[in-house]
Structure 1
């Protein structure tokens, strides 16, 4: 993984390497079994991966580059195969921007606005402090409280990074209120808890993390199956809860804290809650809006209004006169526009990998070369999961990792032409595996936010990340052979 503080010449070198490799593949002799457009889309993917791994340019800049190169390379490629009339850049533009009219992108963009609105009201602080005050100030209970807060906020803040940005200052505030040394075992592990549980929490809810709507969108477009918010919750939330419980035991049993109960903790929590004052009108309004939003998501099978549309109207009510809690100007600067841009470009890249046949070709020469297609289902899942875990170490963005991994898995499943395979379930399992980035802070922005507090070191996270990954995989495969088969996912 490249050092974030690498010199400008180092970044320029990575950019040159990426451009040379991309151009070399894009204009290389035709590869058997791959169309010209597919070959060039793969070239753009290679360039994107190099930029994402080296961090030679920012993610928003890489997104713009992806869109631009897709337009040019596909526009000057034959419509089909390797010969014939060129598609033209005008017709390539809608393809390169297809991710921005994708249902997955809509849910993520709306979710980031929803997160900005709730942060504007401060309701998340009240929820966090109330839950921690309820569980008490024994050390283990505080960790249980932080995990519970994260799981609750998953429904209210549909962004892993935003949840980490919300919980990190709350954790630091608790450390300060308890008058605890920020380099103590308690403080270090509390921030590591935030770094890891924010990832785990995203698995359970369709709107809880960026990979989920991406996977749902690819399933809808390529496998012609719709995954509702309720279905995702049924399949994923039990696994998420069991994993979260296991993580609680890991982080509280592996460590030996300086105290069993935080000195003066109850008084500090009471003061913090008192300082918040009574619930504001804005907090009451957004609470009501979120109750109806979650009800709308959960009852999609009854009213047939999809989760994306529910999210759009939720944002509308939050920003509208009278019902709203803020104006557009109040929240626009709190929205992560870089993530929105990267997300759209990543989905466009994935869609074009699939439509050009490049994803199927890539899957055949990678997973197919390992003989995965001839394996029993359980062994196939194990090998695909292992490959994803290894690849995940190369990415610092879960969105970027999803854009590279999920289309390849979908392409592989399509290449097998085996209708008996549980393709939807396997795509979802591959999406869960993308969340397993618990070793290094640089593998996820949510961990980097916690790491930036200077409370823990990389070795501290590795010490918790290794058992968390091992136990998480054990739980994963137990669910493969039990629950996910019982509910018809596999």
Structure 2
């Protein structure tokens, strides 16, 4: 009988090639290991729960270890969840008709109208014209980006909107000023998004998950009540941190000359579009008075800004501005969240995590800070804000409810924490966009320098708001 030499025999060679292929493809190896481990370690779970966990882990691997598009991974996972766990393919189609999806669609159309008429440029020009120093200019830009959270429903879209403004301001500045400005824009864009329910797709998803898994719901007005003060404090303090870390002391108080940001010829459509946007915002804020759903108000506004002779913005052009991958991602993650919940996996996972901590008798604020810390660090592993919410929020809500903590408080805490994603270039599209602009902006070392300040600052702010400010605004931390 001939000796079998590993790597030379046909079967051994095939095995060696397979092994090498796995080593060359860590995502595939991790997927196979994850599926097998679930069958071995989690054999006590129901079959539906095991399948849900396997699908969830495969999606997590797709989001973190591959270059596959996040929306594609979410869509594939949602399809598997609908077929193998929920056993209802119609769940996929129903998710696309969810009111949160329509709210985001309308918000994108409204944002496209604001962009087409140059409203953001004019707002920036007005704010910068009043700035007298470099510090004043930084805080003026922060105010503009905070306001834009109520119009543009995507942090990456807001970043793209702000790039021309950055370029006009930075072109006459030195390298240190350009680096500080390049850090300011994505930092404030990401942190100010928490001001509004429509400030990021992750917020709409969080509201939907809260409605399905938690014990309450949140609308535009309630979100603004809790989110705007936090976002304002976080944004302006972060702007000051950028100033102190990256702008020399003498330059902070140096005179600032505002560039011409807006075009001199006004767009005749700007007035009607601004009026429509104002009416939509007013409709959202006054929902307790008229009772009309925020999605309906947004759709009316979207129709108005694209109506011939009224808003004057072309409908096809406005629809092209919709970030369809984000819309599909949101719809898909709604199905994934339903599968995790209905399979019983979320409750089982929360119980496993909760039981060891139950004997400690932690107060509600301690639970919220633990949730906050997980959210603040999650961007190191999951490089998508919406994915972080989809992954972390369902078990966080179940664990909070079991511990007697308000699920609304848990949701706000986690979403506020996941807005911080400035330690790595790949953790947020706005950071990557401004980091790759020509002319020299910032590098990974600069992000770490800034993140070393912002990470503890965000945790302190969350503790302050969860423990003091939000209860003063009527949010009870105990369930």
Q: TM-score when scaled to structure 1? A: 0.86
| Residue equivalent to 2:210 | 219
Query: CA offsets per residue over residues 142-186 of structure 1, 9 Å max, x none?
Result: 21111011011112212211111111221112112xx224xx111
Q: Which of 341, 347, 350 pairs up with 1:360?
A: 347
The answer as to whether partners of 2:95 and 2:334 remain within 8 angstroms in 1 is yes
Q: C-alpha separation between the residues in 2 aligned to 1:363 and 1:334?
A: 39
| Residue equivalent to 2:55 | 44
Q: Say if 1:70 and 1:249 are closer, same or farther in 2 by CA, change over 3 A.
A: same
The answer as to whether partners of 1:15 and 1:56 remain within 8 angstroms in 2 is no
Q: Which of 120, 136, 143 pairs up with 2:138?
A: 143
Q: Say if 1:299 and 1:372 are closer, same or farther in 2 by CA, change over 3 A.
A: farther
The answer as to whether partners of 2:22 and 2:28 remain within 8 angstroms in 1 is no
Verify: 1:344 aligned to 2:331, yes or no. Answer: yes
Q: TM-score when scaled to structure 2? A: 0.87
Verify: 1:192 aligned to 2:183, yes or no. Answer: yes
| 1:355-434 matched pairs, under 5 angstroms | 355-371=342-358, 374-414=361-401, 416=402, 420-434=404-418
The answer as to whether partners of 1:319 and 1:325 remain within 8 angstroms in 2 is yes
Shift of 1:328: 2.9
Shift of 1:321: 2.5
Shift of 1:116: 2.4
The answer as to whether partners of 2:134 and 2:254 remain within 8 angstroms in 1 is yes
| 1:117-266 matched pairs, under 5 angstroms | 117-136=113-132, 138-176=133-171, 179-181=172-174, 184-257=175-248, 259-260=251-252, 265-266=257-258
Q: C-alpha separation between the residues in 2 aligned to 1:64 and 1:376?
A: 38
Q: Structure 1: any 5+ residue segments left out of the alignment?
A: 1-8, 76-86
Q: For residue 155 of structure 1, give the secondary structure of its aligned residue in structure 2.
A: coil
Query: CA offsets per residue over residues 4-59 of structure 1, 9 Å max, x none?
Result: xxxxx899824523542464367669732x33222212211111111111233112
Q: C-alpha separation between the residues in 2 aligned to 1:29 and 1:71?
A: 24
Q: Say if 1:264 and 1:413 are closer, same or farther in 2 by CA, change over 3 A.
A: closer
Shift of 1:305: 1.2
| Residue equivalent to 1:289 | 276
Q: C-alpha separation between the residues in 2 aligned to 1:368 and 1:448?
A: 40
Query: CA offsets per residue over residues 76-116 of structure 1, 9 Å max, x none?
Result: xxxxxxxxxxx4xxxx2123444323333332232223222
Shift of 1:361: 1.4
| 1:471-490 matched pairs, under 5 angstroms | 471-489=457-475, 490=477
Q: C-alpha separation between the residues in 2 aligned to 1:473 and 1:221?
A: 28
Query: CA offsets per residue over residues 123-156 of structure 1, 9 Å max, x none?
Result: 21111122111223x2111211110110111122
Q: Say if 1:262 and 1:172 are closer, same or farther in 2 by CA, change over 3 A.
A: farther
Q: C-alpha separation between the residues in 1 aligned to 2:467 and 2:256?
A: 47
Q: For residue 482 of structure 1, give the secondary structure of its aligned residue in structure 2.
A: helix
Shift of 1:234: 1.1
Shift of 1:473: 1.4
Verify: 1:335 aligned to 2:328, yes or no. Answer: no
Shift of 1:67: 2.7
Q: Say if 1:368 and 1:166 are closer, same or farther in 2 by CA, change over 3 A.
A: farther
Shift of 1:199: 1.1
| Residue equivalent to 2:11 | none
| Residue equivalent to 2:65 | 54
Q: C-alpha separation between the residues in 2 aligned to 1:116 and 1:10?
A: 45
Q: C-alpha separation between the residues in 1 aligned to 2:252 and 2:407?
A: 48
Shift of 1:372: 8.2
Q: For residue 456 of structure 1, give the secondary structure of its aligned residue in structure 2.
A: coil
Q: Which of 393, 412, 424 pairs up with 1:440?
A: 424
Count of residues in Structure 1 that have an aligned counterpart in Structure 2: 453
The answer as to whether partners of 1:350 and 1:403 remain within 8 angstroms in 2 is yes
Q: C-alpha separation between the residues in 1 aligned to 2:470 and 2:253?
A: 39
Which of structures 1 and 2 has the bigger CA Rg? 2
Q: Structure 2: any 5+ residue segments left out of the alignment?
A: 1-20
Q: C-alpha separation between the residues in 2 aligned to 1:480 and 1:74?
A: 36
Q: C-alpha separation between the residues in 1 aligned to 2:360 and 2:200?
A: 29
Query: CA offsets per residue over residues 302-324 of structure 1, 9 Å max, x none?
Result: 11112222112221212223223
Shift of 1:440: 1.6
The answer as to whether partners of 2:369 and 2:462 remain within 8 angstroms in 1 is no
Q: Say if 1:26 and 1:341 are closer, same or farther in 2 by CA, change over 3 A.
A: farther
